[in-house]
Amino acid sequence: MHDIILTTFNGRYTHSSLGLRYLFANLKELQSKTLIKEYVINEKIQDIVEDILQHQPKIVGIGVYIWNATDVGELIHILKKVSPQTKIVIGGPEVSYQPFRVDMSGADYVIQGEGEIPFYELCRNILDAKEPNQKIFPPKLYDLSEIKLPYLYYDKNDIQNRYIYVEASRGCPFSCEFCLSSIDKAVRNFDIDELLEEFQILWDKGVRNFKFIDRTFNLDIKLANRLLDFFLSKNEHFTTHFEVIPDHFPLELRERIKQFPPHSLQLEIGIQTLKKDIAKNIKRNLNIPKIKENLEFLEKETNAHIHLDLIIGLPGETCESFGENLDYLCSLSNSEIQLGVLKKLSGTTLNRHDELYGMIYSDIPPYDILANNLIPFSKMQEMKRFARFWDLVYNSGNFTKTFALMVENKSVYKTFYDFSDWLYKQTYSTWQISLDRLAQFLFDYLTTIQNLEKQKVADILVADILKVGGRKLPSFLRAYSEITSSFDKAQIGTKQKRQQKRTE
């Protein structure tokens, strides 16, 4: 039996909860009474409740995020129905700021902001029959030296099957209005020596994939250099992922990034918009010459896999200006470009734009924008489909040569918008489109709508398809290809990760 169960719903089984491990690491003498139980969204909630209650916990602590808020609301409801004596404590970004747009009223306590220290104190009081009168514990920033690191609590199963999330700092100095990280402007670093000691333990256990959740990795260059040196000292293959700001790559950082071998370093760069008036509107720094210079450096002088972010629906931004952003980014980089849809999170100041720009958002997670006075609902729907099809065709890396043929000497945005609109009219769906079926659609579009020569299109599709080992040619392409069935079965190439497909 365990007095405390720590739980959450991850987006996928391969994800892991860093937050739960932080809570566990800081429970001191209560650790022996505590168990971590992770689930995945869309599992049967009643089965999860049964699994939790078999441990007869007195306290259930739940991590709440935008992707699992609805499931957590149902979990709280059923837990309280069948075990009203169990105390439910919730925390995490989704409940750290009001209003709560998913009904969490069944929870006994809400810990907002950093939860490591207040969760321990609350659990100790509950177990000692000294329950506090307050239900909501407001956010408070703690000295990071008071917080024990959680990395010892990734177990063998996590290391073999899940992403390992880590962090070297908390907070962000910038004020981007759509981002919760901007609320915590006091950037605080963990002790780098202690951190690297625990990273070495993870490495010795077999971890080779480190995903940093820091918002501004390259803000503190001394910290960034120590971390990069840690990985550069390793002789085995690894991958490490950092979120970076686009306009701060001094020489010493550049020299280290250039040393990383292919497929080992991933950099996520938040561009969001390239329009100065829009950036100023949402209090976002924008130095376009620096962005251009740094992207050129990363593209031409490093092996880093780059992931760029743009947002659809920012206040004051039209579809046309968004399209100009996309065209410009594609002219600078061949990297992945993630097209996100604006979301209004509780705690941000986006609502100040609601009246002026007619911003309308869903009150159901993920709280995405539905319309504004520049982009009506029907057009916003088209842009969301655009983003989904963009991911399938462009970001996946499965059709790099075919995509280049489609947009050759044309506006990337306008061309792909037309394709997206056409594709949806063929499928009336953005999901469950197999690679072979998508290849057929691409062939049909390029040959019937763009009027390209069939053999030329077929040759390029064949090249895209057979660069991934184990794939067979769809039947419609065999008539255009001299590659025989037996040659196809030879499994040309090797299996590739998404980032490899974009660069080969």
- The b/e string for 419-456 (b: 16+ C-beta within 10 A; e otherwise) is bbeebbeebeebeebebeebbbbbbebbbeeeebeeee
Exposed, middle or buried: residue 344 (CB in 10 Å: 0-12, 13-18, 19+)?
buried
Domain 4-137 of CATH type 3.40.50.970 = no
186, 143 Cβ separation under 8 angstroms: no
pLDDT of 491 reads 43
Give dist(CA 368, CA 381) in Å, integer: 11
Q: What is the mean pLDDT of each run of 10 residues along the chain (504 residues)?
A: 97 96 98 98 97 98 97 98 98 95 96 97 97 94 96 95 95 86 81 97 97 91 96 96 92 96 95 95 91 94 96 97 97 95 94 96 97 98 98 96 97 98 96 94 98 96 87 88 48 56 63
Using DSSP bridges, classify how beta strands 109-111 and 239-244 pair: parallel, antiparallel or unpaired. Answer: unpaired
Euclidean distance between CA atoms 24 and 457, whole angstroms? 56
Is 483 exposed, middle or buried (CB count within 10 Å of its CB: 0-12, 13-18, 19+)?
middle
Residue with tokens 């120590």: 226
Whether a cis peptide bond, with omega within 30° of 0, leads into 99 is yes
| Nearest partner of 228 among 248, 208, 202, 254, judged by Cα | 254
Burial class from Cβ neighbours inside 10 Å (0-12, 13-18, 19+) for residue 490 reads exposed
Tell me if domain 4-137 and domain 163-375 are identical in fold: no
User: Which pLDDT does position 497 carry in this prediction?
Assistant: 65
3-state secondary structure 38-88: EEECCCCHHHHHHHHHCCCCCEEEEECCCCCHHHHHHHHHHHHHHCCCCEE
Residue ranges covered by each domain of the chain: 4-137, 163-375, 398-504
Question: What integer pLDDT is reported at residue 503 of this predicted model?
Answer: 64
Q: Residue 267's beta-bridge partner residues?
A: 242, 306
| Residue 425 identity (one-letter amino acid) | K
pLDDT in the model for residue 461: 96
CA max distance for the chain = 78
Name the burial class of residue 168, with classes exposed (0-12), middle (13-18) and buried (19+) by CB atoms within 10 angstroms of its CB.
buried
Burial (CB < 10 A; 0-12, 13-18, 19+), residue 13, is exposed
392: alpha, beta or left, given left = phi > 0 and alpha = psi -120 to 50?
A: alpha
Decide: residue 205, CB within 10 A, 0-12 exposed, 13-18 middle, 19+ buried: middle
Written as six digits, the tokens of 222 are 């001394």
Q: How far is it, in rounded angstroms, from Cα 89 to Cα 20?
A: 12
Residue 206: DSSP 8-state = T
* pLDDT value, residue 180: 84
**Which of these CATH numbers, 3.10.20.310, 1.20.58.340, 3.10.180.10, 3.80.30.20, describes 163-375?**
3.80.30.20
Measure Cα distances from 367 to 69, 217, 341, 429 in Å: 11, 27, 10, 21
Q: How far apart are CA 127 and CA 85, in angstroms?
A: 13
**Which residues pair with residue 209 across a beta bridge?**
239
For the four alpha carbons of 157, 213, 32 and 112, in that order, the dihedral sign comes to negative
Two tokens, residue 28:
């001191």
**Host H or E run for residue 384:** helix 377-390
- Is-contact 63 36, C-beta < 8 A? no
Cα(150)–Cα(148) distance, rounded to whole angstroms? 6
The predicted pLDDT at position 495 comes to 53
Percent of the chain as helix, strand, coil, to the nearest 5: 45, 15, 40
Tokens of 231: 């990985």
Per-residue confidence (pLDDT) for residue 499, from 0 to 100: 62
Output the six-digit token pair for 309.
């972010």
Q: Whole-prediction pTM value?
A: 0.92
The amino acid at residue 151 is: Y
Spatial neighbors of 199 by CB under 8 A, at least 6 apart, are 151, 166, 210, 230
Residue the block writes with tokens 């990273």:
199
Residue 171 φ/ψ region, left for φ over 0, alpha for ψ in the -120 to 50 degree band, beta for the rest: left
Residues whose CB falls within 8 Å of the CB of residue 351, separated by 6 or more in sequence, listed in order: 344, 359
